[in-house]
C-alpha cells in the first residue's frame, strides 16, 4: 500500500514541487535538471490513463505554485471574491497541467521494446507540448521549463538558435536520462529484477550535446567573440510606483502627472530617451487636449524624446469607438512621431473572451472596457536606430518579439504595469522571460514597469541594473547597439518543428509495432523476460 501510494501520488507531487522551486522567486534552478525524474519513475510501466492522471497531478502542483499570483490579481484588483479567485487560478493551473498530463500519457505509449522510456523522445515531446500551450486559445507560454535557467548564462546562449525551447529540451533530456539510469541501478539492486542495459549511446551523445551547449555559451559570452557595438544609447527609465487602485482616480490625476515629471527630471540630463511604463498617463493622450499640451510642452522644455504608454480611442467604421492599449513616441521638440498599439492582449485583463457567457468577469477589464488588438508588430524610428516596443504580456511570446527584430529593431523596449501582481513571484517570473528575448535575438532590452521590476538587460542576457519592487525610482543605463542577426530571429521556431517531427516519427514507428495502439487500448506491453534481439532504439 505504501509503495503504491509513493509511486501513484507522492512522486508526481515531488516533481511538481521541485519544478516550483526551480522558478523565481525560489530560483533553485539546479533542481530543474532532476525535477521530472520522480514523475518519470512513477509512470514507468503504467497504463496511459494512470500516467495521464499522474502527469496532471505533477502539473497541477507546478502551476498552482507558479501561478498563485493570479489570486492576488483577481481578488485585490478585480474585486472578485477570494473563493472565486482561487477557483479561477485552479482552472488556469488545471488547464496548463493538461499538457504535462499529455506528456506523461503519450510518453508511456512511446516506450521502446523493453518498456523503457526514450530520453530523446521525452525531450522532443515536452517541447512540442510547450509550443502548443504557447499558441492554443491565444497562447499562455508562462513558466516554460527553460525559463528556470535565466541565471545560467552559459547554458542559455544556445537560445539564439533554438529559442527558449532548446533549453527546455536539454532539461528534459537530462531528466529522462537520469530516470533511465535510475532504472539501470534499480534493476541491479533489486533481486529478481530483469537487468536493464545502460543506454551508452544516449549517454555519450547527450553528454557531448551538453558539453557543446555550455562551450558555445562560454564562447558567446566572451567579449572577443562578439561583434563590436556600432554605438550606444543612454535610456532613462521612470518607475512611478502608482497604486493600481488610485491610477484612474481623477482627483489624483495632477499628483500622478507631477510624480512623472519629478522622476523624469532626475535622469533627463544624462539620457537620449526617457521611457515611462505602460498606461502611464491617467488620461487619454489623444483625447484630452489640455493634459496632452502640458506633456508636449514638458518634453520640449527638456529636449529629450519620450516614450510612454497611454490608452487610445479610435473611431470604428460603424461610428463606435475602439479602445487600444497604446504607446507614443514624442520627439525632443514635442512632436508625436509614432504610436504602437498592443497586438497580443491579456485575456480577462484587457478583454473578456466569450463575454456573453463570462459576463461576471467584466470587473477585471481595467475599469475602462474591452480593448481591441493593434494591427501588428512594427518598429519605430527612435534615437540612435530602430526601436522595437512590446507592451506587458507581449514579451512572453518569443515569436512576437522575434518579428520586431526581424523587421529591423536595433534595440527593444518593454513597458508594463505589474502592479496587478502585488508582492508575488509574478514580477520576477515576468522579468526572467525578458532575459531570453534578449538572448534569442541578440538585442538589448530596457524595461520600464510602474511598480517594478525596471531594468536593463544586454544582448547576452546579463541583467545590468534593476530597481526594487514598489518604490519610486528613476534609473538610467547604457544600451549597446550593433549585434548580429541570429538564426532564431531569421527562422523562428524551427527547432520546435524538428521536435514535433521527431515525436511524430517515433509515434509512427510505435504504431507500426503495435505498442502505441496497444497502450491506448489498455494493453500495455511490459518488458519481456529476455532482451529482444533487435538493437535498443535510442530515441
Residues marked active site are found at 278, 342, 392
Under DSSP, the state recorded for 408 is T
CA distance 161 to 502: 18
Cα separations (Å) of 170 from 127, 145, 161, 238, 532?
A: 10, 10, 13, 38, 29
Element (H, E) at 448: strand 445-449
As to burial, measured by CB atoms within 10 angstroms (0-12 exposed, 13-18 middle, 19+ buried), residue 325 is buried
Strand, coil or helix: what is 480?
A: strand
Is residue 414 within a helix (H) or strand (E), and if so which, with residue range? strand 411-416
Orientation angle between helical segments 398-406 and 426-441, nearest 10 degrees:
40
Q: Do the beta carbons of residue 461 and residue 154 sit within 8 Å?
A: no
Please answer whether residues 201 and 118 qualify as being in contact, where contact means their C-beta atoms are separated by less than 8 angstroms. Answer: no
Look at strands 306-315 and 385-391 and give their pairing: unpaired
Q: Which is it for strands 231-239 and 411-416: parallel, antiparallel or unpaired?
A: unpaired
Residue 38 to residue 34: CA distance in whole angstroms: 8
Name residue 457's beta-bridge partners: 445, 463
Nearest CA to 310 out of 295, 325, 292, 322 is that of 325
- Point out which residues pair with 414 in neighbouring strands: 390, 447
Beta strands 385-391 and 380-382 are: antiparallel
* Separation CA 397–CA 430 (nearest Å): 11
Q: Cβ contacts of residue 162 below 8 Å, gap of 6+?
A: 169, 488, 495
Helix (H) or strand (E) holding 336: strand 336-341
For residue 236, give the C-alpha cell.
Answer: 532613462
**CB neighbourhood size of 368 (10 A):** 14
The set of cell numbers assigned to 371 is 480593448
Which residue in 152, 145, 165 sits closest to 402, CA to CA?
165
**Cβ proximity of 460 and 226 under 8 Å:** yes
Proportion of the chain in helix, strand, coil states, percent, rounded to 5: 50, 15, 35
Amino acid at each position: 500500500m505504501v509503495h503504491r501510494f509513493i509511486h501513484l501520488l507522492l512522486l508526481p507531487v515531488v516533481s511538481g514541487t521541485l519544478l516550483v522551486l526551480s522558478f523565481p522567486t525560489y530560483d533553485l534552478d539546479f533542481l530543474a535538471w532532476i525535477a521530472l525524474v520522480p514523475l518519470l519513475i512513477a509512470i514507468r510501466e503504467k497504463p496511459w490513463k494512470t500516467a495521464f492522471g499522474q502527469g496532471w497531478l505533477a502539473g497541477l502542483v507546478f502551476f498552482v505554485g507558479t501561478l498563485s499570483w493570479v489570486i492576488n490579481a483577481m481578488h485585490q484588483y478585480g474585486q472578485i471574491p477570494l473563493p472565486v479567485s482561487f477557483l479561477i487560478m485552479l482552472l488556469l493551473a488545471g488547464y496548463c497541467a493538461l499538457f504535462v498530463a499529455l506528456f506523461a500519457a503519450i510518453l508511456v505509449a512511446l516506450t521502446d521494446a523493453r518498456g523503457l522510456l526514450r530520453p530523446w523522445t521525452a525531450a522532443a515531446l515536452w517541447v512540442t507540448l510547450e509550443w502548443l500551450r504557447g499558441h492554443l486559445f491565444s497562447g499562455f507560454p508562462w513558466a516554460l521549463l527553460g525559463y528556470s535557467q535565466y541565471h545560467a548564462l552559459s547554458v542559455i546562449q544556445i537560445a539564439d538558435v533554438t529559442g527558449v525551447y532548446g533549453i527546455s529540451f536539454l532539461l528534459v533530456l537530462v531528466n529522462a536520462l537520469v530516470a533511465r539510469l535510475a532504472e539501470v541501478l534499480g534493476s541491479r539492486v533489486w533481486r529478481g529484477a530483469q537487468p536493464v542495459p545502460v543506454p551508452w549511446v544516449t549517454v555519450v551523445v547527450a553528454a557531448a550535446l551538453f558539453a557543446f551547449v555550455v562551450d558555445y555559451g562560454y564562447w558567446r559570452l566572451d567579449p572577443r567573440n562578439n561583434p563590436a557595438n556600432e554605438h550606444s544609447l543612454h535610456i532613462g527609465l521612470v518607475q512611478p510606483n502608482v497604486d493600481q487602485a488610485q491610477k484612474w482616480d481623477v482627483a489624483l490625476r495632477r499628483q500622478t502627472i507631477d510624480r512623472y515629471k519629478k522622476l523624469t527630471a532626475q535622469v533627463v540630463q544624462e539620457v537620449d530617451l526617457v521611457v515611462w511604463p505602460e498606461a502611464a498617463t491617467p488620461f487619454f493622450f489623444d483625447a484630452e487636449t489640455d493634459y496632452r499640451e502640458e506633456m508636449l510642452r514638458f518634453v520640449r522644455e527638456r529636449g529629450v524624446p519620450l516614450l510612454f504608454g497611454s490608452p487610445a480611442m479610435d473611431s470604428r467604421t460603424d461610428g463606435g469607438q475602439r479602445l487600444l492599449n497604446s504607446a507614443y513616441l514624442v520627439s525632443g521638440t514635442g512632436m508625436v512621431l509614432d504610436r504602437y498599439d498592443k497586438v497580443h492582449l491579456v485575456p480577462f485583463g484587457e478583454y473578456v473572451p466569450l463575454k456573453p457567457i463570462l459576463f461576471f468577469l467584466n470587473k477585471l477589464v481595467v475599469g475602462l472596457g474591452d480593448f481591441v488588438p493593434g494591427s501588428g508588430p512594427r518598429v519605430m524610428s527612435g534615437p540612435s536606430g530602430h526601436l522595437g516596443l512590446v507592451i506587458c504580456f507581449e514579451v512572453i511570446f518569443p515569436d512576437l518579439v522575434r518579428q520586431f527584430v526581424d523587421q529591423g529593431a536595433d534595440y527593444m523596449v518593454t513597458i508594463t504595469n505589474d502592479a496587478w501582481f502585488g508582492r508575488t513571484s509574478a514580477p520576477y517570473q515576468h522579468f526572467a522571460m525578458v532575459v531570453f528575448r534578449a538572448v534569442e535575438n541578440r538585442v538589448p532590452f530596457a524595461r520600464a514597469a510602474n511598480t517594478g521590476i525596471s531594468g536593463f538587460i544586454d544582448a547576452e542576457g546579463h541583467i545590468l541594473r534593476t530597481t526594487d519592487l514598489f518604490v519610486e525610482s528613476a534609473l538610467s543605463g547604457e544600451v549597446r547597439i550593433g549585434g548580429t542577426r541570429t538564426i532564431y530571429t531569421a527562422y523562428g521556431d524551427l527547432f520546435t518543428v524538428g521536435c514535433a517531427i521527431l515525436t511524430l516519427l517515433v509515434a509512427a514507428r510505435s504504431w507500426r509495432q503495435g505498442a502505441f495502439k496497444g497502450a491506448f487500448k489498455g494493453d500495455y506491453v511490459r518488458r519481456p523476460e529476455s532482451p529482444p534481439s533487435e538493437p535498443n532504439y535510442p530515441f
